[in-house]
Structure 1
């Protein structure tokens, strides 16, 4: 698009402001060089890029550095065999650090709706090892670490010893009363990289040695005493060796950079691109910008748009163009905001098509134009001897030659600068031409003829900027559909111009002009009344909406409270059932312990406790049955009992099977799970399972299944103590239920934590007869052998 128009609409200033948010000079240059695109897909991608940048910033992700040095030349030099300086290596390490932190922040935030930024992040590589190596070796632009290599450390240690010896010998001269009278000052200094002492000129032969320099006055010479000469020579040799070793280290690091040059270049470009995106996003946040919607049919609808360069309280404008009409004629007084409205639309078009968000409200829609043309302001050219009118006509001629149906044309004070009658007629002809070719045009004017012309043409519309006659100041509000009124006579009257002059002026007006002005005044008053009513309705609507929102929140709150109460009741019911189960299990544990005693009275008492516990659970939780163990569907059968028959022990509400009968057939030994109990035959009911496709597993069958499936050992090595205890508890329950006589727990030797924890747990179990460490052939201290009751 035309560079002159971009500058005229102050797009360059917008880019300069956005550039201040960039960290690197390269990203700043990218912003300053930004051009509006005319391809809809490219424009949408650029806008999405900025939107994702805002998402990143609001999520707390920003560039983790304050500086991004340009490392491209250094990478290129490394690639062609040059040796990089410590400063260059530090700059590359800085980019490496930035890329690593950016990558980490990206993965930490886990943002899934930033596909454009994600494509940039994917091009950022991490060089952790090389970054650490450079940072460890290069301490500053002038200093290499002693630990850069063993050779360098050795040379520097040796050099340090020699320096100390040289200083000691020189201190002998400085501190000696005999030599002090020969010295200009009792100090040690350096000349040409060698340690010397300042000797007075007249005593130059009093201290044998090599003269390396003399003062400007010639009164002082700097002498390297002979005893120090050999030491200095050795120090110099070590310094040469040290520089060779440093050069070797730098060469090695440079070679590593050369090996990674392609990845480094790609990473650097991606980091700069991210800097560019975040700069646009920061500018968007600063101007409270939004991403506009886009179309290619030439439709513009700006909602509460604010010119981004205006300071203070900016009155937003609502403006639309391109559907019912393609040409908008804005009229109104000077300083009323006509030109600002014109510039706002033009600048919005340039910003939107360059990927910048717009300072407006959501729902704003912009079209993608192939070109934006503008003729704004007084462009009188002294150099070309052109009048204001001629300069405008020259610009308009170029616009007419280049504009098409995909162009946005902005014309300020169209037809001004010449005879009003001719100027108005020419302006109408220009607008009529743009109407025919389908260009989108916004024009400002003072001519009343253009107001009537806009009324008479389909595809054209009037608009005006308001003027407050009470305060004699513009309101800067734009109203589409109503032409502006000049208000010249009213303003003159309020400013105190004599009434007779104002009346005389009115008499000079044509009847048509007077009627037009009166009509405009009536329209203005009606429009104000309608706007006030609309504002009141908006307030009422907003109030009702807020009340509805509050009611909806209250209803949601009640619903959540109701759900919490129901959930709480369910949890309480579960607790009651669980409590009943646990109490019943404890009772059966007692029954198991007392089985050997065969005390009928105690058994009956315990059975009664079970019934009471279950009854209380049913009472606490309504009519829901709370059985200890699920049983399959049964039917009662008649006939005498025989070993192997399945029976129901009614007093215990438990199922078992007959193991044996006494000689008289009155006492039966019944197997209930892992327990055997002697019970009277009359207390037993013979039962038979019904044939069913989905049989429920009884306790006895479960025991038999467990016997088939359970292993005689369990391995818990590698688990935490808590995990191991849970696993072993479950295993021991299954093994006991299956009737295993013993089991092996493999826990390993290790620190002994698992073994001690398992032994402490085994001591608390009542179904364990004994436990011991394994024998040598069983695994020794790495296993524990358990024997069940």
Structure 2
């Protein structure tokens, strides 16, 4: 079911966006498929196509692709094959190229295991290998029938070649034997027969059959009587060859027609694959993505009109729905109201066609059943309709069809007639559409419609921003406020004298002047609020960045502090261990020393031992504090393969060897390391892998 009329598609220029996307297709088949796209309200179909396009975007972004060259539209040839007995040999080159492309594409896509949706489509491609072989065995790449396309053709071709060689030998002998008769020493053909060019005066010298003469009449193309029989035989063989070639072409044509259903299905899948790649390439080239679909509201974030220069167009953000089913956009002429309507309408058509849109992926779109538009000049000389009459006639049709699953885009509602009467009609139409529950976006200059939008709970007012400093529109949509038409400002900018502008202002009623002042104040307040929100958002972003930076610095500090403490403890322990060993060696040496020296050394040894005991206690307390594990004491028993923490280097590792003297071998970051059992603690981290690293 299509969701838009021909008028809607024309108003929104849907055909132009299809033309742009079609340029990314690799084949005429894919381009034609895109040209036939129509939007749909089938959610399942849309979700499937969106997932397929997203998958191919991911494939292309991974710098991989497939070659779609060699794809041809075979449907005209299939139609031609049903209307005549045989196709031309060159037609079969096109068929063979397409069959080869099918085989290649299937093979390429079959290698992409991480892209199941694309593989699922490719697996539906059928490959008629026998048909391809029949064609390639009979037709060469230039579109000529091969001499050995069939046993009979091969036999006839060889027989013709033998006869021609025999004739040529005899003709060369004639040329060499009687050069005075020969005009030119070459062998040529006339009427399919091998002849030699002789001088016109040589006719009586030998028996010849003349088949042609030069423009001057000085040269005759003659067939000596001695080769007439063989030339006749060649003519008969040529006739047989023509019949055999025709039979081969008819046989290939019949085989081609027999696979019509399979080939048509392949054409559908190939066209779809090509269209998917075209849409994905378009998305990458134009920075497009898909919004969330199926939402009960429409949220457009940073949307750009796809037909405008992307480096100049101002992105549009607008949302409505969930209690706000209508948007009324106001603002100055040339401020962007109509472009906003067209942007939203065209982007919705694209989404419901499975084409990515130039907007943020955080956008959300509903799936509507119908899109109706009343945009542009509806004047019709043929139907004797004025601009206003044309709009009214169109809106009457829209009101008849509108319901809660419709999106209506009404540009300049109530314009083209007396402002008071136009406003009254506009208000009545707005109330009726609100009762029908339709999604509606309206643009207007009429003040009563602005006020109705401000006070009605189901309508969101919006304005096209106007920069009073530069006296020009910014083309940004400001939600929640009604805009002024700024007619006096624009007229002054264009050169209308201040005297006339002041006279015009004097013609306004006090109520109208007061209303414009209120709108101006609302616009200033809204602009100030938006600027404040932007500052708050910027400050919040900076605060988040500072928070992340502080957290990273804190983590790095804790890691350095732990490493520093661990290093200091290890150095101190090493110093005390060395000192204790030196004292022990000294005591041994002084065992025969005077007795008064030994008490002093014993006292020193005890002090060192006490320091080591204190250091050990502090190390245990330090480890307990770092891990929060009350069982962070050295392990008394370990097994090979066990995960442990090596306290001296503050790293986890795996036991690989048990040595005598309470020593163990451990593997840390693929490096073999030896330490004492007292240095081994329970692991600090949870290790998920069971694989043992390689030893070095």
Q: Work out whether the TM-score is over 0.5.
A: yes
CA distance in 1, matches of 2:90, 2:557: 66
SS in structure 1 opposite 2:100? helix
User: Structure 1 residues 195 and 555 mapped into 2: Cα distance closer, same or farther (>3 Å)?
Assistant: farther
Return closer, same or farther for 1:548/1:239 CA change in 2, 3 Å cut-off. Answer: farther
2:497 and 2:266 mapped to 1: Cα distance? 76
- Tell me: CA distance 1:422–1:572, structure 2 relative to 1, closer, same or farther (3 Å): closer
Alignment of 1:451-462 (within 5 A): 451-462=450-461
Instruction: Tell me, in whole angstroms, the C-alpha distance in 1 between the residues paired with 2:535 and 2:529.
Output: 10
Aligned-pair distance for 1:309? 0.5
| Cα distance per residue 1:473-505 (max 9 Å; x no partner) | 221101111111122333445566544443333
SS at match of 1:143: coil
Q: Deviations over 1:135-182 (max 9, x none)?
A: 3553234434456566655554554444334334334455566444x6
Among 299, 302, 305, the residue aligned to 2:300: 302
Residue by residue, what CA displacement relative to the aligned partner does 1:385-427 show, whole Å, maximum 9, x if unpaired?
2211111111111111222222111111111111111111111
Between 1 and 2, higher relative CO (CA 8 Å, sep ≥ 6) is seen in 2
Q: Deviations over 1:702-724 (max 9, x none)?
A: xxxxxxxxxxxxxxxxxxxxxxx
Shift of 1:285: 2.4
Matching of residues 744-783 of structure 1 within 5 Å: none
Does the aligned pair in 1 maintain the 2:213–2:220 contact within 8 Å? yes
Instruction: Name the structure 1 match of 2:111.
Output: 108
**Residue 3 (structure 1) aligned with residue 57 (structure 2):** no
Contact kept, 8 Å, 2:68 with 2:105, in 1: the verdict is: no
Instruction: Report deviation, 1:127.
Output: 4.6
Q: Does 1:122 align with 2:176?
A: no
Match of 1:45 in 2: 48
* Deviation of the 1:310 alpha carbon: 0.5
Deviation string, structure 1 residues 642-686 (Cα, Å, up to 9, x no partner):
xxxxxxxxxxxxxxxxxxxxxxxxxxxxxxxxxxxxxxxxxxxxx
SS for the counterpart of 1:330 is strand
Q: CA deviation at 1:231?
A: 3.4
C-alpha distance in structure 1 between counterparts of 2:64 and 2:253, whole Å? 32
Q: Secondary structure at the match of 2:111?
A: helix
Structure 1 unmatched runs, 5+: 581-610, 626-789
Q: Distance in 1 between matches of 2:84 and 2:446?
A: 73
Q: CA deviation at 1:9?
A: 0.8
1:502-581 counterparts in 2 under 5 A? 502-546=501-545, 574=656, 577=657
Query: 1:305–1:360: 8 Å Cα contact kept in structure 2?
Result: yes
* Native 8 Å contact 1:59 1:109 kept in 2: no
Change (3 A) 1:8 1:259: closer
Give the deviation of 1:250 after TM superposition.
Answer: 5.3
**What is the match of residue 285 of structure 2?**
286
Question: How much does 1:541 deviate?
Answer: 3.5
Partner of 2:37: 34
Q: 8 Å contact 2:140–2:146 — kept in the other structure?
A: yes
Aligned positions of 1:540-689 closer than 5 A? 540-546=539-545, 574=656, 577=657, 620-623=674-677
Deviation at 1:66, TM superposition (A): 2.4
Query: For 1:565 and 1:382, how far apart are their aligned partners in 2?
Result: 91
Contact 1:50 1:281 in 2 (8 A): yes
Instruction: Tell me what 2:600 maps to.
Output: none
| CA RMSD after TM alignment | 3.8
Retained in 2: the 8 A contact 1:293–1:363? yes
Contact preservation (8 Å) 1:339, 1:412: yes
The superposition leaves residues 247-271 of structure 1 with CA deviations (integer Å, 9 ceiling, x where unpaired) of 5665666676567555444333322
Q: Render the CA deviation track for 1:85-128: whole Å, top value 9, x for unaligned.
A: 5334333322222122222222212124x43x343222113455
Matches within 5 A, 1:325-364: 325-364=324-363
1:189 aligns with 2:188: yes
1:370 aligns with 2:369: yes
Quote the residue 2:17 is aligned against: 14
Equivalent position SS for 1:534: helix
Question: Equivalences for 1:353-502 in 2 at 5 Å?
Answer: 353-493=352-492, 497-502=496-501
Asked whether the equivalents of residues 81 and 257 of structure 2 are also in contact (C-alpha less than 8 Å), the reply is yes
> Residues 188 and 197 of structure 1 are in contact (CA less than 8 Å); yes or no, is this contact kept in structure 2?
yes
8 A contact 2:90–2:144 mirrored in 1: no
Aligned residue number for residue 324 of structure 1: 323
Determine the C-alpha separation between the residues in 1 that align with 2:349 and 2:644: 55
Q: Give the equivalent residue in structure 2 for 1:314.
A: 313
Three-state SS of the structure 2 residue aligned to 1:23 is: coil
Q: Does 1:94 align with 2:97?
A: yes
The 5-angstrom pairing of residues 171-182 of structure 1 reads 171-174=172-175, 178-180=179-181
My pick for the range that moved more, 194-203 or 69-78, is 69-78
Structure 2 distance, partners of 1:8, 1:313, is 22
Secondary structure of the structure 1 residue equivalent to 2:677: coil
Give, in angstroms, the shift of residue 208 of structure 1. Answer: 2.3
Answer whether contact 2:70 2:98 (CA < 8 A) is retained.
no
Which one is further off, 422-431 or 337-346?
422-431
> Partners in 2 of 1:85 and 1:550 — Cα distance?
73
CA deviation map 1:608-657 (0-9, x unaligned): xxx79x979799442399xxxxxxxxxxxxxxxxxxxxxxxxxxxxxxxx
Query: Do the aligned partners of residues 97 and 490 (structure 1) sit closer, same or farther apart at CA in structure 2, a change above 3 Å counting?
Result: same
Alpha carbons 1:296, 1:369 under 8 Å: kept: no
Q: What secondary structure sits across from 2:332 in the alignment?
A: coil
Cα gap change, 1:150 to 1:474, in 2 (>3 Å)? same
Distance 2:644 2:316 in 1: 50
Distance across 2 between alignment mates of 1:278 and 1:617 = 57
SS in 1 for 2:422: helix
- Name the larger-Rg structure: 1
Aligned-partner Cα distance in 1 for 2:91–2:447: 69
SS of the aligned residue for 1:36 comes to coil
Question: What CA distance in whole angstroms lies between the structure 1 residues aligned with 2:551 and 2:29?
Answer: 51
Q: Which residue of 2 aligns with 1:166?
A: 167
Q: Contact conserved, 2:68 with 2:274, CA < 8 A, in 1?
A: no
Count how many residue pairs are aligned between Structure 1 and Structure 2: 587
Alpha-carbon distance change, 616 to 353 in structure 1, aligned in 2, over 3 angstroms: closer
SS in 2 for 1:109: coil
User: Is contact 1:71-1:88 (8 Å) kept?
Assistant: no
Higher deviation after alignment, 519-528 or 212-221: 212-221
CA 1:217–1:323: 2 relative to 1, 3 Å = farther
Asked if structure 1 preserves the Cα contact closer than 8 Å seen for 2:86 and 2:250, the reply is: yes
* Contact 1:469 1:491 (C-alpha < 8 Å) held by counterparts: no
Give the whole-Å Cα distance in 2 for the aligned partners of 1:335 and 1:143: 63
Q: 1:753 is matched with which residue?
A: none
Does 246-255 or 351-360 show the bigger shift?
Answer: 246-255
2:644·2:654 contact (CA, 8 Å) conserved in 1? Answer: no
